[in-house]
Structure 1
Amino acid sequence: MVKFEPGAVNVISGASKTGKSSVIPIIDYCLGSEKCAIPVGVIRESCSWFGVLVDTLEGQKLIARREPGDLKASGDILLLEGQEIEPPPIIQQKNQTVEYVKAVLNRLSGLSNLQFEPGSEDRFKSRPSFRDLMAFLFQPQNIIANPDVMFFKADTTDHREKLKTIFPYVLGAISPELLQARHELDRISRQLRRKEGELKARQASGASWQREGFAWARLAIEYGLLPAHTVVPNDWPSTVDLLRAAMQSDTRSATPTLASMDVIMARLTELRGAESKLVMELNQSRNRLHELRRLDESSDSFRDGLYVQRDRLGLSRWIRELVTERPAAVLEPSDAGRARIDQLCQALEGIELRLRSHPAITESLGRETLRQREAVETILADLSAVRQEIRTLEGQSEEARKVTTRGEEISHFRGRLQEALRLYEVADTSSTLNEEILALRTQVEGLNKLISEHEIGRKTENALDTIQSISSRLVPELDGEWPDAPIRLNIQDLTVKVIRGTRDDFLWEIGSGANWLAYHVALTLALQGYFLSKPNHPVPGLLIYDQPSQVYFPTRRAGKALEEDLDPEWNNEDVAAVRKVFALFDHIITRTTGRLQIIVLDHADEDVWGKLANVHHVEEWRGKGLVPAEWG
């Protein structure tokens, strides 16, 4: 078991092939990685389980996971929880699933369980996960001085796109409360759309019922439920009051009269006249539409003919220019020939003038066609309403003449009228539905202000400014080429830009492994500094660096090239550069007052990082390694 001290720079030094670089994939695997990246060979063959013991606010948690064998990863996992945990010497069986452990880690981190975009099927917009935070903890050997990749596993599309999504979240520009507001906005918006659809349906139903309501009022007069001299008003509210009055009348005293039946006859005569007029207007509008269509087709043919004439007459302008500019180069035309050429050119100008005015003609035709279509639609709607009222009055008037069944008919009519009035009350647009829609719209406006993309962008830029300020103080402490040039994190490309005067250079545009290392170290430390400044930030206070000295690693001396067990020798310049890295780690541990833990896996021995107050030498793997020799 390897024990790391909290609040310190923990160093494991040693030679190659001792298992130093396996520490990161072991921790990553135990924390729920989908794939086991622990190197095959001695480590995988000698171990049946891998485990990590972590301190949390709830106490210690031991997470152990079975070696997957030929599988990509194993789902067998052991989770032990308590104030202090003593790792068992042998693990007999699992007690939890990987998904359960991930859920525990998500909860401990205080991550929101809501998607970034409600209802989205994009896997990159799924909820933030503890697994996403690994990008900020690990700097393995293939990343720490990589000009193209800044973050752990950001060289794969899935991790890269998800990291772009969660960056505003970890920077605090998107909070759990904002995600909740997004989901609340989605819920209220769906509710608002449903209410608006219901209101629209009610309005359509109410409009249809209003067309019939005037006929119902006249039928009430015919049935004797209203006085024969009653005048049916043109406004709808008064008509509704009239129908309600009909409902209050006594059916026993309702005696149809000739005068009341004449009301229906007079209205039918009026409606038939209106129907004939509307039919005539409809035929006229249809004929106009037909003529406009033919005129549009003729206009296109006329335009095509003008293009043909213009192309043919274009030769005359060329001949006139040729005669005018270079008279000696062609046969000199006679005066009559010149006059004829001028006539052709004038005709050409006239055709071009008509071509230029043609679009305006086409636009006028389009506007008139649209106006006629709207007129036809209006006439059809009015005609439909008139014919519907005619059918209602004709049918009811015919039945009204059956005096033998008059009492029963009046009762049926009152029943239908009562139900119609009830439905009207439900469909009344002045009901509480309008108030509910207004309240929902107010909530939507408030939530839209809360989740403003502009505000999110502003907060993100402010966070990047702070990180830039922190990293700019760290870069001069390292062995970079431009110590005074600030660096800025670019979320879209997941890299940094080096700001030098009037130009900004991406990391991959800059040479030298020393520069790449300096910017990786400065940015990861600056990010951790920013995270630690935020209360209860989800990213753990942990950084693990594998082989930060690799860019300075010297070639072995020729005389000992074949002695694999010997470490290379360092010159003073290399030692000074690498020590700057360790000295910065030591300084950061002091500044963070024990809230950050740094682990360094490196070839460098105590001659490089010794005598630094916060550096803790964990183990020396020279002549031994991660797996004890007796396990082999």
Structure 2
Amino acid sequence: MQLLALALYHRDGRPTPRVVRFRPGALNILTGESETGKSEILDIVDYCLGRSTPSLPDEPIDQTVGWYALLVAFPDSRMLLARPRPAGASTTQAMILTGDTSLDLPRADQLTPNSNVAALRAQLSARLGIEDFRFQPPAGAARSAFNVSIAQATLLCLQNQNEIADKKALFHRQTENGMAQAIKDTLPYFLGAAGPQQALNRHHLNEAQRAQRAAQRKLDDAYRHREAVDAGGVALLRLAQNEGLLDEVPQAPAPEEIRQLLEQALTVTTSVVGPVDLTDRRYQLDEERRALREQLQQLDETLALLDRWQKQGEDFTGELRLQLGRLKAINLLGPEGDHDHSVCPMCTQPLEHPDAPAAEILTLAEELAGELDQARTVQPIRDEHRRSLQSERAAVVERLKVNGAQLRELTASDDRMRHLQDQQVRIARVQGRIDQALTTGSGSPAGGIAQLQDNLVVAQENVAGLQALIDEDDVASETERRLTDIAADMTTWARRLNLGQAAAADEVTISLSQLNVVLRRPQGRLPLNRIGSAKNWIGYHMVAHLALHTYLRRHHRPVPAFLMLDQPTQAFFPAKIKDATTVRDADWDTVTAYFELLRDVADLNDGALQIIVCDHANLTDHPWFQESIVENWRPHDGRRRALIPTDWLD
């Protein structure tokens, strides 16, 4: 695939587009002053080939252009690839036209989106001959699989002015996130060292490794399950032994012995103890105990009352004895007992309250003595009644003791029955767990592990076979061999341009691991970033890409047959230059040598390679250079020439 024409269509729909045409199979030079839009040519080509996000400047292109179109040629057909100006940061819209060699750029009114970027890339990839396959990264790689397409092939065809002078990166967009790895993954395919079969083998290897890991996990799970079953079986054996289902359990029984003992524990039967209703008997005893306690309380109250009577009687008789003793003193009186009791016997004075007569006192004493004799006759009856009550109380207390013993025995019997029932429940629970364990364990017999082991062996053999097949392909060695073929031209052309360290190097080559130019010397490898001067960086970029594309064309690889270079002579002119033709002290001999190499490589490929260069230089003294110019954007007849016509800016 080579480029025939690039067209810019005005946003207002004017019929005449701005067209830049290229010659296929030859050196195309687009020269001119600074700020005329030369560098935008590469970005537009990149955008038309399917890039979603263009890197075009805001002005004046964004203000004027409505559509970009690229006409490309294949050996027997042509394709038109048109993209509308993105309304935002990106767009996926596209217009695709295919036809024979007569297909040309459309009119502005014919531009309409009829496809998208994905379809555009797919059609271009198919036309280029890129085989339909999905690149599978190695197992464990932290990146995703992707479809190989024109998107990766284009990275080998473009070098903008910053990239061609980059000492650390060799390819287009290499420094963007993920691009370097994409180039490393696809360059072996584009060189012919790897293809869909290798990718398919690697995909099958990834699948086989995934199956091997799954088989290993299943086998490990089976082992863990068996170990868990064995440990659980031993625990069940200990429980069965504790409940009396087994007499003796070995300390470390074998798996087969565990199953036999568990089955034995299931055969043990125990007598069933049914529930016994003791509610009525307990109720009777409780009622009896309540009645006895009431009776005991009544007896205690009666005895207490009797004791109070006894105490009061003793107090009364004591008082009677005291008073009687005092009254008996009246018997000591003689005739004095008949004195006048209204007069004090000592002082013979009349008393305010006359004393009682002695006869009355004697009568009272006799009455007290009679009451005291009567109290003495009541005491034996009271004592007999107390003894009767105490005897009756002792009988009640004894009956309470018997009642308590009966209640305790009833409770103990109830506890024994409950314990027996609980034991039956525990035994039933243990036997149920044993039955469940044996049923569950039967789903993973020893034969199951053997089958899983066989599956793992088959998976391992499958992985080993695919790995051997991939090792036989040895993509890395084959890629290195092809890079060595490319290095032959690189070395020759680097010495021709007299690039730094090239004369002393054994070989100038491309390092796939570094994606950069490397010089092999007796004292060791020398990467490009350790070689000074922008002249050398640009020169090595040129020889690397020229040699790479020459190899691709010789071997008919599915990569677009054009190489676009932007400002390859920038190292020889001031940083801010208006027109290189005005610089007289530049190294014009080296500039000429660069362009002569570009011309000779285009001739060497005999029409199979198209080289497009956008540059400030204009070698007016060399007819071949002038014949290679397709656009010269320098003022002519007082009119400014540039990518965007002057009248578009009015």
TM-score range, shorter-chain basis? 0.5 to 0.7
- The answer for the alignment partner of 1:28 in structure 2 is 46
Residue 105 (structure 1) aligned with residue 118 (structure 2): no
Distance of aligned partners of 1:111 and 1:120 in 2 relative to their CA distance in 1, 3 Å threshold: farther
Q: CA deviation at 1:103?
A: 2.9
Distance 1:566 1:511 in 2: 23
- The answer for the alignment partner of 1:305 in structure 2 is none
- The answer for the alignment partner of 1:524 in structure 2 is 545
Distance of aligned partners of 1:501 and 1:206 in 2 relative to their CA distance in 1, 3 Å threshold: closer
Q: How does 1:4-403 map to 2 (within 5 A)?
A: 4-56=22-74, 59-69=77-87, 71-84=88-101, 85-90=103-108, 91-109=110-128, 110-117=130-137, 122-123=142-143, 126-195=146-215, 272=247, 275=249, 277-278=250-251, 379=252, 382=253, 386-396=257-267
The residue type equivalent to 1:625 in the other structure is: A
Distance of aligned partners of 1:189 and 1:539 in 2 relative to their CA distance in 1, 3 Å threshold: same
Distance 1:120 1:59 in 2: 43
**Are 1:125 and 1:165, in contact at CA under 8 Å, matched by a contact in 2?**
no
The residue type equivalent to 1:526 in the other structure is: A
**Are 2:502 and 2:519, in contact at CA under 8 Å, matched by a contact in 1?**
no
Q: What do residues 476-519 of structure 1 show as CA deviations (whole Å, max 9, x unaligned)?
A: 22242444233232333322223455254322222223222221
Distance 1:165 1:114 in 2: 11
**Are 2:573 and 2:580, in contact at CA under 8 Å, matched by a contact in 1?**
no
The residue type equivalent to 1:489 in the other structure is: I
The residue type equivalent to 1:597 in the other structure is: Q
Q: CA deviation at 1:27?
A: 0.4
Distance of aligned partners of 1:72 and 1:122 in 2 relative to their CA distance in 1, 3 Å threshold: farther
Stretch of structure 1 that moved more, 459-468 or 176-185: 459-468
Distance of aligned partners of 1:397 and 1:208 in 2 relative to their CA distance in 1, 3 Å threshold: farther
Distance of aligned partners of 1:115 and 1:12 in 2 relative to their CA distance in 1, 3 Å threshold: same
- The answer for the alignment partner of 1:442 in structure 2 is 461
More helix per residue: 1
Q: Secondary structure at the match of 2:569?
A: helix
Residue 496 (structure 1) aligned with residue 517 (structure 2): yes
Q: CA deviation at 1:55?
A: 1.9
Q: What do residues 398-435 of structure 1 show as CA deviations (whole Å, max 9, x unaligned)?
A: 59xxxxxxxxxxxxxxxxxxx99x9799946777x777
Q: Secondary structure at the match of 2:148?
A: coil
Q: CA deviation at 1:575?
A: 3.0
Q: What do residues 131-178 of structure 1 show as CA deviations (whole Å, max 9, x unaligned)?
A: 223331112112223323322222333323433343444344443211
Residue 575 (structure 1) aligned with residue 446 (structure 2): no
The residue type equivalent to 1:67 in the other structure is: R
Q: Secondary structure at the match of 1:607?
A: coil
**Which of these residues, 505, 509, 515, is aligned with residue 536 of structure 2?**
515
- The answer for the alignment partner of 2:572 in structure 1 is 552
Distance 1:608 1:578 in 2: 13
**Are 1:582 and 1:609, in contact at CA under 8 Å, matched by a contact in 2?**
no
Distance of aligned partners of 1:198 and 1:68 in 2 relative to their CA distance in 1, 3 Å threshold: closer
Q: CA deviation at 1:19?
A: 1.3
Q: Secondary structure at the match of 1:188?
A: helix
The residue type equivalent to 1:156 in the other structure is: E
**Are 2:95 and 2:111, in contact at CA under 8 Å, matched by a contact in 1?**
no
Q: What do residues 326-382 of structure 1 show as CA deviations (whole Å, max 9, x unaligned)?
A: xxxxxxxxxxxxxxxxxxxxxxxxxxxxxxxxxxxxxxxxxxxxxxxxxxxxx2xx2
Distance 2:258 2:519 in 1: 78
**Which of these residues, 597, 603, 624, is aligned with residue 584 of structure 1?**
597
The residue type equivalent to 2:133 in the other structure is: N
Distance 1:207 1:158 in 2: 47
The residue type equivalent to 1:580 in the other structure is: A
Residue 603 (structure 1) aligned with residue 624 (structure 2): no
Residue 458 (structure 1) aligned with residue 477 (structure 2): yes
Give the number of the structure whose alpha-carbon radius of gyration is greater: 2
- The answer for the alignment partner of 2:628 in structure 1 is 616
Q: CA deviation at 1:596?
A: 0.8
**Are 2:137 and 2:144, in contact at CA under 8 Å, matched by a contact in 1?**
no
Q: CA deviation at 1:200?
A: 6.8
Distance of aligned partners of 1:500 and 1:436 in 2 relative to their CA distance in 1, 3 Å threshold: closer
Residue 474 (structure 1) aligned with residue 345 (structure 2): no
The residue type equivalent to 2:607 in the other structure is: G
The residue type equivalent to 1:393 in the other structure is: Q
- The answer for the alignment partner of 2:287 in structure 1 is none
Q: CA deviation at 1:52?
A: 0.9
Which residues of structure 1 form unaligned runs of 5+? 211-268, 279-378, 400-418
Distance of aligned partners of 1:185 and 1:605 in 2 relative to their CA distance in 1, 3 Å threshold: same
Q: CA deviation at 1:24?
A: 0.2
**Are 1:15 and 1:567, in contact at CA under 8 Å, matched by a contact in 2?**
no
- In the alignment of these two chains, the number of paired residues is 447
Root-mean-square deviation (CA, aligned residues, Å) is: 4.1
Distance 1:120 1:168 in 2: 20
Distance 2:536 2:582 in 1: 23
Q: CA deviation at 1:439?
A: 4.6
TM-score, normalised by the number of residues in structure 1: 0.61
Q: What do residues 544-600 of structure 1 show as CA deviations (whole Å, max 9, x unaligned)?
A: 1112222223699xxxx9xx67941445x7332222122212221222222111001
Q: CA deviation at 1:105?
A: 3.2
Q: Secondary structure at the match of 1:538?
A: coil
**Are 1:59 and 1:81, in contact at CA under 8 Å, matched by a contact in 2?**
yes
Q: What do residues 411-465 of structure 1 show as CA deviations (whole Å, max 9, x unaligned)?
A: xxxxxxxx99x9799946777x777655543332121012239933322332332
Q: CA deviation at 1:31?
A: 1.4
Distance of aligned partners of 1:193 and 1:153 in 2 relative to their CA distance in 1, 3 Å threshold: closer
**Are 1:206 and 1:427, in contact at CA under 8 Å, matched by a contact in 2?**
no
**Are 1:475 and 1:519, in contact at CA under 8 Å, matched by a contact in 2?**
yes
Distance 2:218 2:574 in 1: 77
Q: CA deviation at 1:119?
A: 7.5
**Are 1:63 and 1:80, in contact at CA under 8 Å, matched by a contact in 2?**
yes
Stretch of structure 1 that moved more, 184-193 or 48-57: 184-193
**Are 1:6 and 1:597, in contact at CA under 8 Å, matched by a contact in 2?**
yes
- The answer for the alignment partner of 1:533 in structure 2 is 554
Residue 627 (structure 1) aligned with residue 649 (structure 2): no
The residue type equivalent to 2:572 in the other structure is: Y
Distance 1:200 1:501 in 2: 53
Distance 1:127 1:97 in 2: 17
Q: CA deviation at 1:81?
A: 1.7
Distance of aligned partners of 1:203 and 1:476 in 2 relative to their CA distance in 1, 3 Å threshold: closer
**Are 1:554 and 1:568, in contact at CA under 8 Å, matched by a contact in 2?**
no
Distance of aligned partners of 1:76 and 1:388 in 2 relative to their CA distance in 1, 3 Å threshold: same
The residue type equivalent to 1:552 in the other structure is: F
The residue type equivalent to 1:75 in the other structure is: T
Distance 1:621 1:73 in 2: 29
Distance 1:438 1:477 in 2: 59
The residue type equivalent to 1:621 in the other structure is: W
**Are 1:124 and 1:162, in contact at CA under 8 Å, matched by a contact in 2?**
no
Q: Secondary structure at the match of 2:172?
A: coil
Q: CA deviation at 1:384?
A: 6.7
